Structure formats: C-alpha cells, structure tokens
C-alpha cells in the first residue's frame, strides 16, 4: 500500500485514489468514546471528539476473527471472488463493510469479530475532511485470526 492509500485528505480523495474503496462508518458519541452508529456492543472505536464524523477503513485493513475473539461483533453476509482473493461483505450493526481476505474463503452467514490497527484507520469529520489530531482506538485479537490460505505462488505452501 502506498502513502496515498495510507492517508487521504478527505472522503472524496479516499475513494478517488484507489481501486479498493474505503469503508465509511458513521460515528456517534458513546459512554467511553465514539461508537459506530447502530452497532449494539457500544465498543468505542475513537475519542468522543470523533462523534458526528466517520471511521474510514480499507477492506485490506480489517481482520476477521472467530466470534469468541475480542473485537467488533459482525456477521459475514456474503462473499465474492475478487481477483485471487475473497471480498467478504460483513454487517456491522446496520452497516455493511467490505473485508478483503487472502484466497477463496466460503464463510457466508458466519458470525465473527472484526479488528484493525489504529494506524490503518482514518477519522473524518462530518464534512468528510480527515481529522489529523485524532487517532482511532485499537481493536485487536492477534492470536485468533481466521486462518488465511497462502497466496498462490508464495513460499508458504
């Protein structure tokens, strides 16, 4: 991923500079920080100051984990082949995000948890401008990822 994809100035730039459109999740104020609107776990994903804006995540920045792991509750609605990989369409509350997985992964209708590293998330204000002074919170469960098959041609076979 190059620097243009890592940090973008606005919602418009985030999608104009990549073939991998960013997922945008609206944020509202929760008890301990900004939470994803309509998501029932009330898990804070950013500081309260991010409420009213958006959490931006590219499909390749999101990790899928078993439902027993720590993370954002979600459900895989459907999957589709995307080049040599799988694009999972995943419900987070009333929102659907796209998650890119290595190889073909038939995991439709599975409950799961989502995580991401804060440096791969971006926060945008209500007008779509990037919030440089705010950082998303870490949601991580590194030991319990859903196994991903190696990419074709890799030395991991």
C-beta neighbour count of 13 within 10 angstroms: 16
DSSP state, 9? Answer: S
Chain segment 50-87, per-residue pLDDT in tens: 999 999 999 999 999 999 999 999 999 999 998 899 99
Structure tokens belonging to residue 80 = 């589709």
Burial class (CB in 10 A: 0-12, 13-18, 19+), 94: exposed
Pairwise CA distance, residues 107 & 114, whole Å: 14
Place of tokens 């418009």: 12
CATH class of the 3-124 domain in this structure: mainly beta
pTM of the model: 0.80
Q: Summarize pLDDT for 90-134 with one digit per residue, the tens.
A: 999 999 999 999 998 889 999 999 999 999 999 999 999 999 999
Q: Where are the domains of the chain?
A: 3-124
The answer to whether 63 and 9 have CB atoms below 8 angstroms apart is no
């Amino acid at each position: 991923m190059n620097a243009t994809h890592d940090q973008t100035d606005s919602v418009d730039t985030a999608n104009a500079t990549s073939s991998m459109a960013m997922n945008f999740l609206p944020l509202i104020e929760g008890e301990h920080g900004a939470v994803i609107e309509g998501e029932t776990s009330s898990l804070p994903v950013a500081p309260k100051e991010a409420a009213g804006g958006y959490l931006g995540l590219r499909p390749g920045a999101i990790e899928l984990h078993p439902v027993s792991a720590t993370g954002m509750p979600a459900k895989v609605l459907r999957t589709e082949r995307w080049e040599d990989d799988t694009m999972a369409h995943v419900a987070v509350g009333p929102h659907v995000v796209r998650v890119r997985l290595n190889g073909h992964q038939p995991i439709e209708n599975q409950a799961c948890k989502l995580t991401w590293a804060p440096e791969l998330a971006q926060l945008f204000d209500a007008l779509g401008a990037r919030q440089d002074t705010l950082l998303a919170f870490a949601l991580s469960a590194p030991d319990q990822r859903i196994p991903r098959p190696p990419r074709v041609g890799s030395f991991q076979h």
